[in-house]
C-alpha cells in the first residue's frame, strides 16, 4: 500500500534516531530526513536509549552531550545488542580515542542536508553487507576521520592501518570465494 503521492508504505521506511542536545539541530535533522524515513529525535542520552529498539536502522549521534555522552550512549546501544548502524555527528574533532569506539561513520559538524541524506543511505546499504564488510567500512571511516583531523602517524593510527589491511584481506578473500562460486551459478534466461 502506498501513501498519497506514491511514496513507500510507512512500515517499509527505514527508521532513523537523531540524537543531539541542540533541539534546533535535532529538529533540523528530522526536517531533512522525514520525507524519506521514519525519524525519531532525542536531545539527551537517556531519551535516546528510551527511543531505541530493534526497529531503529540508523542512529545519528552527537558525541558531546550533557549527562550521558555520545560515547556512553553508543556503548549502551552496542551492549544492548542493537544492530543499528551508528554515525557520530559531532563538533568534536576526531582523535585516536575513536579507534576503539564501535560506530560505523564519523562526521564533523556542520553537516549539510545532502551530506546527511547521503550518509543515511550509505549506512543503510552497509547494513546489507556481512559483518566483516561492515567492520571494514567502519575502520576505513575512522582512518579517514583521523587523517582529515591531522591525527595520522600516531601509534594508534598505525594499529588502525594494520586492522584495516587485515580486514580488507579477509573481505577480499570472501569476495573472491563468492565470485568463484557465482561463476558457476546458472543465471535463468528471461525472454523479453
Mean pLDDT of the chain: 85
The pTM of this model reads: 0.77
The interaxial angle of helices 131-148 and 113-126, nearest 10 deg, is: 150
Nearest one of 113, 108, 116, 71 to 92, comparing CA atoms: 108
Rounded mean pLDDT, 38-57: 97
Q: Does 2 have pLDDT greater than 60?
A: no
CATH topology of domain 7-182: Rossmann fold (3.40.50)
Q: Does 166 have pLDDT greater than 70?
A: yes
Query: How much is the pLDDT for 177?
Result: 61
Amino acid at each position: 500500500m502506498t501513501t498519497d503521492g506514491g511514496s513507500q508504505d510507512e512500515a517499509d521506511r527505514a527508521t532513523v534516531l537523531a540524537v543531539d542536545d541542540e533541539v534546533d539541530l535535532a529538529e533540523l535533522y528530522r526536517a531533512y530526513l522525514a520525507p524519506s524515513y521514519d525519524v525519531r529525535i532525542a536531545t539527551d542520552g537517556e531519551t535516546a536509549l528510551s527511543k531505541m529498539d530493534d526497529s531503529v536502522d540508523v542512529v545519528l549521534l552527537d558525541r558531546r552531550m550533557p549527562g550521558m555522552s555520545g560515547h556512553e550512549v553508543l556503548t549502551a546501544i552496542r551492549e544492548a545488542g542493537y544492530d543499528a548502524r551508528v554515525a557520530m555527528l559531532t563538533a568534536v574533532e576526531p582523535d585516536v580515542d575513536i579507534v576503539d569506539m564501535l560506530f560505523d561513520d564519523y562526521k564533523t559538524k556542520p553537516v549539510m542536508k545532502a551530506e546527511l541524506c547521503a550518509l543515511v543511505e550509505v549506512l543503510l546499504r552497509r547494513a546489507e553487507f556481512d559483518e566483516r564488510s561492515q567492520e571494514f567500512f567502519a575502520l576505513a571511516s575512522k582512518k579517514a576521520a583521523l587523517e582529515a583531523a591531522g591525527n595520522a602517524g600516531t601509534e594508534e593510527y598505525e594499529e588502525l592501518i594494520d586492522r584495516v589491511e587485515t580486514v580488507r584481506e579477509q573481505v577480499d578473500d570472501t569476495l573472491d570465494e563468492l565470485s568463484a562460486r557465482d561463476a558457476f551459478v546458472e543465471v535463468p534466461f528471461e525472454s523479453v
